[in-house]
Amino acid sequence: MKNTDFVVRFAGEGGQGFLSAAIGFASANTKAGYHAQTFATFPSQITGGPTWMQTRISIDPVLSRGDEVDVLVVFNEYAYETHKNEVKENGFILYDSDQLNIEPSEKVLGIAFEKLAKTTGNARAANMVMMGALAELVGVNLSVLEDFVKERWGDTSRYGEQIVPQNIAALKLGSNEVQDRGFKLAEIEPAKPLNTSQIFLNGNEAISLGAYSAGVEFYVGYPISPATTILIWMEKNLVEKNKFVHQVSSEIEAITAIIGASYGGKKSMTATAGPGFSLMSEGLGLAWMAEIPIVVVDVQRGGPATGLPTKTEQSDLLSSITPAHGDVSLPVVAPGTVEECFYATIEAFNWAEKYQGPVILLSEHGLAERQQNIPKPDINSLKIENRIINQSTDNYYRYESQGISPMPIPGSPGPYVANASEHDKMGDTTHLPERHIEMTERRFKKLEILKDSKYEYINSKSEIILMPWGGSKGPGFEAFEKLQEKNIDIGWAYTMFLNPLPEKLLIELQSKKLVIVPELNYLGQFSSLLRSQGVNAKSITQYTGLPFKVQYLVDQITELSSKR
């Protein structure tokens, strides 16, 4: 029997170059029509420290990183000791015999990657020896990697004429080494033909492309893991006429500057992570109060304060809804996959423009650092919203009426004061109780128009519903499929739109016996949000800094649902 997917984990020390090899291996397989997803976890330092990356290749779209490992590639002793127990029973360990020695067995194979590479005349082709060995082990045709090498260095590198044959020779050396020793996993089934062309990217790139598609005109930000790559993307691609991008001096400056730009009529965004998001609290309150459309991306990382800068967690949900003092309830859109990172960003802009206020795009480290193939978005089918702009030259009052009112833009009619203090219809400061009542209700009433968003709902008759959010969608859905195979009666609900929730879905959930929420935090934040809205929800929590494993979810859900 052939395999439908396999998982390779690369483990060693940061700076050993295997991270790019792992991405290259994934990318090469997507070129051959396979689906791939990478997962990386590393310490917060420039080079060194225990680092590992995992690549899952499948004939079907990949939902999660994969619980267990088919092939473990290790580059030092520590990596071997740490990861050896996660290798499947019939899996293999491939190790760099330049770096360590493992007692030989029929499951363990040492290759001197660099020594072999040197025989091609290029010691830097060590990763290619490793990839060649890997391809042979997992049954991927070597031509897939050869094509990748030709495309990667053939035309683009000045030394392509040299590098390409050297690398191809290195691939063969690695492959031969495995063949000679007779190691082999079951072969993987041939790739299925794909209907749509694919792109291969990570979550932060998908967010950046989504913002660009939505028409972002102004971006400023401050470097912070794991959101920095969005700033880098914008600095590269938003340098255009009538647009603006800049690295500013703090997250406080970033949030207030995007408010200034949006007040001036520009679609504006910034991206940050936990500590920066905390600094943005006052600015988010201002945007809510003065009714200025902005999008703030929070790429969640672990823990409070500085926490875990390079680990994943879903612990900013409650603080993203109420980041500021006073009565606020910020709209939150949380993508669950790399593909959703693209579409959620467009939705976040659409929400901000429609209801005229701040919207939080809640991503997470696990999505930001994940490379994945997704269908290339069809730009022509996107629906892009723009704020209503005031054209009236009569005495127009910005904050009159209950609900959405046209926004005057400096330079055109309808001058007003955008005010952080409580204000009247003209934007002037007031302390009158009736104005505070009127304006508070106005601000909350605007959320009503955001309640008709899309959601997934499968097996809706079941009394028990599984409802993960954000990046736990992938392992959650894989667990759901496994539970269905076991004939466990369970339904599935999912939405990117966490606040306000789609009204119809909320009504459905309120009628259920139990809604099970897998989420990566201690408090059980989404289930507490659901309970506050009359849903009997219970969380499966995890706070390891790593995403869920599917089997863990299957076990936990089975236990929770059998207790009923």
Partner 1 sequence: MAEKNNPEYDFKWCPGCGDFGVKKALEAAIKKKTIETEEPILNNVVIAGIGCSGNMVHLLEGEQPYGFHGLHGRTLPVAMGLKSSRPDLNVIVVAGDGDFLSIGAEHIAPQAKRNLDVCVVIMDNAVYGLTKGQSSPTSEEGMITSSTPYGKTEQGFDPLAYYLSLGISFVASGLSSKIKDLSELIYEGMIHPGFSIVHVQSPCTEYNNTYEILKGSPKKGIEPLAKPIDESHNPNDLKQAMEIVDTSNIPLGILYQSKVQPTLTQRFEDLTNKSKQKDIESLLKSYSV
* Count of residues that bind partner 1 according to CB under 8 A: 68
Of 89, 411, 487, 563, the one binding partner 1 by CB under 8 A: 411
Give, as ranges, the residues between 249 and 268 that touch partner 1 (CB under 8 A): 249-250, 252-266, 268
Cross-strand bridge partners of residue 247: 221
Nearer to partner 1 among residue 90 and residue 395 (C-beta): 395
Q: Which of 156, 195, 395, 562 binds partner 1 (CB under 8 A)?
A: 395
- Amino acid at position 550, single letter: V
Q: How many CA within 13 A on the CB side of residue 547? A: 30
Please say which residue, 122 or 373, places its beta carbon nearer to partner 1: 373
Task: Give the separation between CA 256 and CA 234, rounded to whole angstroms.
Answer: 18
Q: Are the C-beta atoms of residues 436 and 422 closer than 8 Å to each other?
A: yes
Question: Applying CB under 8 A, does 385 fall inside the site for partner 1?
Answer: no
Give the ranges where 182-321 is alpha helix by DSSP (H): 203-214, 228-237, 251-263, 274-279, 281-290, 317-321
- Structure-block tokens of residue 93: 């360990």
Residue span 419-458 as binding mask against partner 1, x where in contact by CB under 8 A, dash where not: xxx--x-xxxxx-x--------------------------
By CB under 8 A, residue 218 contacts partner 1: yes
| End-to-end CA gap in the chain | 39
* Cα→Cα distances 98→40, 101, 102, 459, Å: 24, 8, 11, 53
Of positions 8, 209, 234, 297, contacts partner 1 by CB under 8 A = 209
Binding flag, residue 551, partner 1 (CB under 8 A): no
CB atoms within 10 A of CB 415: 12
Chosen residue from 198, 278, 462, 551 binding partner 1 by CB under 8 A: 198
Task: Report the Cα 360 to chain-centroid distance in Å.
Answer: 14
Residue written as tokens 């082999």? 184
Complete DSSP assignment for 137-205? HHT--HHHHHHHHHHHHTTT-TTHHHHHHHHHHHHHHHHHHHHHHT--PPPBPPPPPPSS-EEEEEHHH
Measured from the CB atom, the residue of 156 and 532 that comes closer to partner 1 is: 156
Contacts to partner 1 from residues 527-546, by CB under 8 A: none
Of positions 2, 184, 376, 454, contacts partner 1 by CB under 8 A: 376
Give the residue, chosen from 119, 412, 440, 460, that forms a contact with partner 1 under the rule CB under 8 A: 412
CA 98 to chain centre: 36
User: Alpha-carbon Rg of the chain, whole angstroms?
Assistant: 26
Among 494, 477, 549, smallest CA distance to 39 is for 549
Half-sphere exposure of 2 (CA within 13 A, CB side): 10
Q: How far is the CB of 287 from partner 1 (least distance, A)?
A: 10
38 binds partner 1 (CB under 8 A): no
283 binds partner 1 (CB under 8 A): yes
Choice from 99, 166, 356, 373 touching partner 1 (CB under 8 A): 373
x/- map, 44-73, partner 1, by CB under 8 A: ------------------------------
Taking the complex as a whole, how short is the minimal distance between the CB of residue 69 and partner 1, in angstroms?
24
Kindly tell me which of 216 and 450 has the beta carbon lying closer to partner 1: 216
Closer to partner 1 at the Cβ: 202 or 495?
Answer: 202
Contact positions vs partner 1 (CB under 8 A): 27, 30-31, 197-201, 205, 209, 212-213, 217-218, 220, 237, 239-241, 244, 246, 248-250, 252-266, 268, 282-283, 286, 290, 373, 376-377, 379, 395, 408, 410-413, 415-421, 424, 426-430, 432
